[in-house]
Amino acid sequence: MSAQDPKRIPVIAAVGEYVDRPASLDVSLEPVALMERAIRACESDAGAALAPEINLISLIGLISWPYRDPVALLCEKLGIAPAERVNASMGGETPVRLVHEAAVRIAKGEALVAAIVGGESSSSSGRARKQGAKLPWTRAAKPEETVRFPSSRFAMSDVAKQLGIMDPAQVYPFYENATQVAWGQTPAQAQRESAQLWARYAEVAATNPSAWIQTSPSAETIETVSADNRMINWPYPKLMVANPSVNQGAAIVVMSLAKARDLGIADDTLIHIWGGASAIEPEDYLLRDRYDHSTAQQAVLDKAVTLAGGDAAKFKHMELYSCFPVVPKMALRTLGLDANKVAPTVAGGLTFFGGPLNNYMSHAIAGMARALRAHPGELGLIYGQGGYVNKHHALIVSTNPPPAPMATDYSVQTIADAARGPVPPLAENYAGPVTIETYTVTYARDGGPLSGIVIARTPDGARVMARTPAEDRATIEALTSMSKSAIGAGGHVQIDVFGKPTFNLGKEPRRRERKGCLVEKDGHLTIVTINRPDSMNALDPDTNAELAEIFDEFAADPEQWVAILTGAGDRAFSSGNDLKETARRMARGEPLETPVSGFAGITSRFDLNKPLIAAVNGVAMGGGFEIALACDLIIASDKATFALPEPKVGLAALAGGLLRLPQQIGLKQAMGMILTGRRVSAEEGHALGFVNEIAPADQLMAVARRWADEIMAVSPMSLRASKEIVRNGLATADIAEAYAAQSQAPAVRALFKSADMREGPLAFAQKRPPRWTGK
């Protein structure tokens, strides 16, 4: 059979789109309904009944509604039973790949009529969530029943997951900022280029009846940050990122030329598939060789140019994938085309046309079909990209047949892999000097920065990833400079109190400014005061972190033997978590984090062998009581009160209070407090046994210091050994087992090797006070 046999010539026979702009949610269309209408639009486009002819239907991975088996539901709505029904994969390049795969099967001789279809109703589902409305759609599948589309997850390094940098909107800026330096641009110059390019996409969307946004903002509007165009991830504001909040469906039908003619579809509407190419980058974006180039993109587009006869200028129509500006900017440079002289889109781009997640390129193919039908004989390039600059796929199409039969092997992976440079090793738990490789800054819903995110290199070339807190203004300002890129700048990485790598500019690690606490050192005694009296000494996230750092320093300082923790003012020791501040930060989209060492830096600190004294000067509520319970001694003002009231507001005392209180006062008495949330006075606390001593309010610190002085009069090494044995004993059910193990405790072994072990008997023999060193 000849290679030019019409039964082996693949064509796009029909395209269809549907946009739903419901007046109310009760008439909104669910994703599968959009897909059904897109298939019916294909029939109108072809002027033929296509649905009964379909023997392969591939449904592109969707997100906006949970279905058990969406492709089966779609077939039911269409009244068809094709031999192959596939819930296909996720990824922005997926429609291009599925069209190409169908074309290859036809070129190999299969009598295939393939429908590639997708749709999302994210606008309606998002509105329903906000309004708490119930949608009149197919019953939502339970999580365990919901279809799992292939490629719904990508490999991700632990540090990326730890820092929460898993959204494509956070990752593409790494490429944007890296390419700026590689291309010799300032951030301002690059931003202007992005805005001008995006304005060209917007112009096309404004003329596309299927576009979600049909206005055409200027480049100046696109790049100007405002209340309506807030920054998302540096340097991209809202008008430079994909817009998934749409209700759009699209379908493409691929068949042989012979089949199209049999169905009476006019030859001049058929789009011939000349061929294409595909390649991928390593899935994990931290395991790439570089961020200013993609060898997979290069190999794919080079092959596309070859198929066009060696000249990219022959592409009179293009769709360059446009989730973020860096993708088409890279593609245009790879193609050697001037962005000011070519049209980069036939549909309008994922910002202005709309970004129905994995299905945008189906709409782009529909737009390309219309463009080529209007300009017979011209050549079109369809370039799709998916994941995190992971997957790249290109197709060459025209109303004219290709000069040679379409190749059935289109992978250029070997070429891409050969061109890829060495991948630097990823350094985990690294602390020390680094140089910025690339970066971004994530922003809150109120437009302010949440944190900087830096990918950097260590002196030996390893790669690290770290965040910069918003309060490090100097570093954030450098990362958001429009006049100079921060790439190449030196800085320092350390592991913060949340167990996460943190970056700051400069040679030394940044010290957190103390705003919520006061620290006083008096000889071997450290006094820590929670200094938020206007908030009843409730802990906001910053104060929580401050306390964790303070107690880290206390634990590590051999000259500090005992600590007293108290609250400023006379009303409260601590009222627990600052719920107002927590609500404010949640509204901004900030993650809620607790230090590795727990609330106030002590409730999860199970290895501190130095004594802690809580000087409770007033209310110790919720988390405040849990802080006190985590201390070794509680000295209470006669005005102090204690409670675990969390159940009264639908919460639970999860910072150790539910575990420590029964240990310290017995189960029944503890349950009496826990189950009622009632307040307990200092006197009752003393009777129950969790308060060591009650002091008049004006004598509280004097009494606490007296206890500290008495503790410091004994051997610090003995105290540390004693505290470790007690702690281990409480954690061991069998006292015999705990007894046998006590001599192996690290603090006990250190005691036996210490100078204090020798000093005690010697001082007793010499009839003098011992001179403890704690060593």
* Helix, strand or coil, per DSSP, at residue 466: strand
Contacts of 511 (CB under 8 A, 6+ apart): none
3-state secondary structure of 458: coil
Q: Is 546 a catalytic residue?
A: no
φ, ψ dihedrals at 524, nearest 5°: -90, 10
Contact criterion met (CB below 8 Å) for 242 and 324: yes
Closest of 385, 401, 403 to residue 393, by C-alpha: 385
Phi/psi for 696 (5° steps) reads -55, 145
Nearest to 79 by CA among 46, 112, 43: 43
How far apart, in Å, are the Cα atoms of 128 and each of 23, 28, 396, 423?
Answer: 13, 10, 40, 45
Residues written for the chain: 775
Distance from C-alpha of 61 to C-alpha of 74, rounded to nearest angstrom: 13
The Cα–Cα gap between 493 and 502 comes to 5
C-alpha distances (whole Å) from 160 to each of 27, 80, 164, 577, 581 are 41, 44, 6, 28, 27
Contact 609, 719 (CB under 8 A): yes
The encoded tokens of residue 647 equal: 């159940």
DSSP state of 423: P
Rg (CA), the chain: 33
Chain-centroid distance of CA 752 in Å reads: 49
State how far the Cα of 373 lies from the Cα of 346, in Å rounded to an integer: 12
- How far apart are alpha carbons 746 and 271 in whole angstroms? 76
* Residue 626 designated active-site: yes
Instruction: Spot the catalytic one: 36, 176, 437, 646.
Output: 646
| Identified catalytic residue from 193, 223, 626, 724 | 626
**Could you give the count of Cα atoms lying within 13 Å of 449 in the half-sphere of its Cβ?**
21
Taking the C-alpha atoms of residue 209 and residue 698, their distance in angstroms, rounded to an integer, is 76
Report how far residue 680's alpha carbon sits from residue 672's, in angstroms, rounded to the nearest whole number. Answer: 11
Rounded CA gap, 273 and 97, in Å?
12
Residue 25 burial (CB count, 10 A):
16
Q: Write the CA distances from 374 to 208, 317, 345, integer angstroms.
A: 14, 11, 15
Six-digit token string for 582: 């927590």
Q: Which residues are catalytic?
A: 626, 646
